[in-house]
Amino acid sequence: MAAWRKLTASERQALAASGSSASDWNDIQVTDGFDPSLVSRCSFSGSCRIALTAPGTRECGGLRLPVGISNSRIDSCTIADGCAVHDVRFLRGYDIGEGCLLFNIGQMTADGSFRGPVIEVMNENGARKVHAFPGMTCTDAWLMAKYPDDGEMQRRLRGFSADLPMRPSVGAGSVIANVPYIDRLQCGPACRISSAVRLESLCLCSTREEPVTVDGNAVLSDGVVGAGSRVTGGCIAAGFALGACCTLSGGVRFFNSVLGDNSTVSCGELVSDLIFPAHEQHHNNSFLIAACTGGQSNVAAGATIGSNHNGRTADGELVAGRGFWPGLCVSLKHSSVFASYTMIAKGSYPAELDIRLPFSLVSDNEHEGRLEIIPAFAWLYNMYALVRNGMKYRSRDRRKQKVQHIEFDAFAPDSMQEVARARRLLEDWAREYCGWKPGESFPCEITLPGGCVEKSRRPAVILKADRAREAYGEMLVHYAADSLSGCSPEECRDLSDGISAGAGSWINCGGQMVREQDVTALRSDIRSGKLGSWEEVHGRFDELWAAYPEQKRLHAAALLNGMNGWTPDGDGIGSLLAEGRRLLAMMAARAEQSRAKDFGNPFRAATCRDAAELEAVFGRLQDDKVIGELRSRIPGREAPDKP
């Protein structure tokens, strides 16, 4: 932008003649080429800078307005060239970028910089605070919330966030129209704000490639909204942070919560939640309170996740791994824990639950007075959905700039270490409660006493335990075969040398899988000052993501070695890959069998007049993309022709 200068005498006269005034004309600065005819009926106060050099128009949707400033009161603002600012009753303290459109705004004020919100997640007692900032990832939020006992690390992380204050500004090419009240707003370029009710202490991380949209009577305060996100439909949010490409809609109430990238929440209520990427909650009459969900989760209608009425204070927590799926009208109590890919059947669960069996189906059998669990249910009976989920989340990743690293595969270190532990847990229970010994047939059912997996006196029954134990073993083989396929002889030798190093625990850090030892080192480096900013912390997570494929191979090999003594020598690799091919074929067959139930359902055909209409609406089984993609992964098998 050209240098600023004071108004000339003729420019002052022209502004006054058009009905404008100023508390002191000497406080108004313009650029060379300033065209005073573009300003009319305005009142200026404080130190203002205006760069309007040529007429033109700005438009958004059906709104089209001329470049210039009219019918507005401006106090201590900078307005760049090409802007259209009309009918703004009071605008104070903002830098307005080039080519912006501001129309019919009541009050838009700010004084100095401001901070990101402090968000109290996972627990309503405020012990897990997230000091949000522009560009915060779900991994950052997890790091702040998970280790409140690490005082020195938390002190330094608070300092990192404090070093990133927000300033009142409107990025180039943004549009703000029909908003009664705005206070302390920072928005990036190309932002679209229309018909919101109230925006206060808000950072919209909009970019030209991924603009942020806020409309439909939204009321937002103390929040950070990630690039490409949209808030619409009467939403109310306070003390919150949205990741990239998130959607709030349908009048959702969203308080004291962090929502990871690629998540959609509509209707319902969410309070004090830390939600990892790719979360879906589309239905009314549902709420999620004081929870940490591991991403790729789906909350059904009528679900009430997190009731505090069984404690003396509001300090319960619910933690669920990836793929958490509570069904219709499920009611759960604090404090509860669920392994990855746990499905919960409809019911009001009367007590806290500790479900460490991944991929399971949990049911409340009130008639029999017991809790029932089918471990590995998704692998045994719902393969199509299991495979489809990974494909779905990858295809729905709309982010242009992928700052947050996300693992979408269901068979990853977090879930597979749970599988290995669950398999051992089934064996321990079989020995203790069924008298099982290695070499004998594994029991079909295991009855656990009250208090084992549910805080109640009623028993819990593990159904199909023998098939679940076998299924868990198959999962580990599939994970290892998939991770180790394509390994060169040299890489196999490296695996042999480092297999013991791969046996450590892994943590789902906000969507990115990281070894526990690496998280420990990261925390130590933050405490010592070796990592001195959020940018450097992000750089460390980038390095860990680059090393992830190799570490994942070691982990897969170590889990398989721990299960059956497998070693990555020539014969071991060959037999593993052969078994992996067999399992892929079995997975494809099970997925097809699962999907075929839909096509074979006569009630689905009842809504169509004939087979032609049925096919036009629902397609054909042989054209299913999920099954085709799964079959194409089987070595030696050609991918099916595209329909």
Residue 641 pLDDT more than 50? no
- Calculate mean pLDDT across residues 498-526: 92
Residue 640 has what pLDDT?
39
C-alpha gyration radius of the chain: 29
- Calculate mean pLDDT across residues 426-453: 97
Residue 629 has what pLDDT?
85
Residue 313 pLDDT more than 80? no
Residue 1 pLDDT more than 60? no
* Crossing angle of the two packed helices 383-395 and 570-599, in degrees rounded to 10: 100
With bands split at pLDDT 50, 70 and 90, how would you rate the model's confidence at 486? confident
Q: Which residue has the higher pLDDT, 313 or 301?
A: 301
The pLDDT tens digits of the residues spanning 202-226 come to 999 999 999 999 999 999 999 999 9
Residue 464 has what pLDDT?
98
Mean pLDDT, rounded, of the chain: 93
The pLDDT tens digits of the residues spanning 553-585 come to 999 999 999 999 888 877 788 899 999 999 999
Residue 312 has what pLDDT?
67
With bands split at pLDDT 50, 70 and 90, how would you rate the model's confidence at 253? very high
Residue 308 has what pLDDT?
55
Residue 527 pLDDT more than 90? yes
- Calculate mean pLDDT across residues 355-361: 98
Question: E strands, 21-141, where?
Answer: 21-22, 28-31, 39-40, 43-45, 48-50, 57-60, 63-66, 68-70, 73-75, 78-79, 84-92, 95-96, 101-109, 118-120, 129-131
- Calculate mean pLDDT across residues 15-22: 97
Estimate to the nearest angstrom the gap between the alpha carbon of 238 and the chain centroid: 18
How far apart CA 373 and CA 387 sit, in angstroms, is: 22
The pLDDT tens digits of the residues spanning 71-103 come to 999 999 999 999 999 999 999 999 999 999 999
Residue 432 has what pLDDT?
97
Q: Which residue has the higher pLDDT, 46 or 624?
A: 46
**% residues pLDDT > 90 (the chain):** 81
Residue 315 pLDDT more than 60? yes
Phi-psi region of 30 (alpha: psi -120 to 50; beta: other; left: phi over 0): beta
Residue 638 has what pLDDT?
44
With bands split at pLDDT 50, 70 and 90, how would you rate the model's confidence at 639? very low
Task: Single out the residue of 438, 415, 414 nearest to residue 426, CA to CA.
Answer: 438
Residue 494 pLDDT more than 90? no
Estimate to the nearest angstrom the gap between the alpha carbon of 160 and the chain centroid: 22
Residue 311 pLDDT more than 70? no
- Calculate mean pLDDT across residues 309-322: 81
The size of the chain, in residues, is: 643
How far apart CA 267 and CA 250 sit, in angstroms, is: 5
The pLDDT tens digits of the residues spanning 28-78 come to 999 999 999 999 999 999 999 999 999 999 998 888 999 999 999 999 999
Phi-psi region of 307 (alpha: psi -120 to 50; beta: other; left: phi over 0): beta
Residue 456 pLDDT more than 90? yes
- Calculate mean pLDDT across residues 450-469: 97
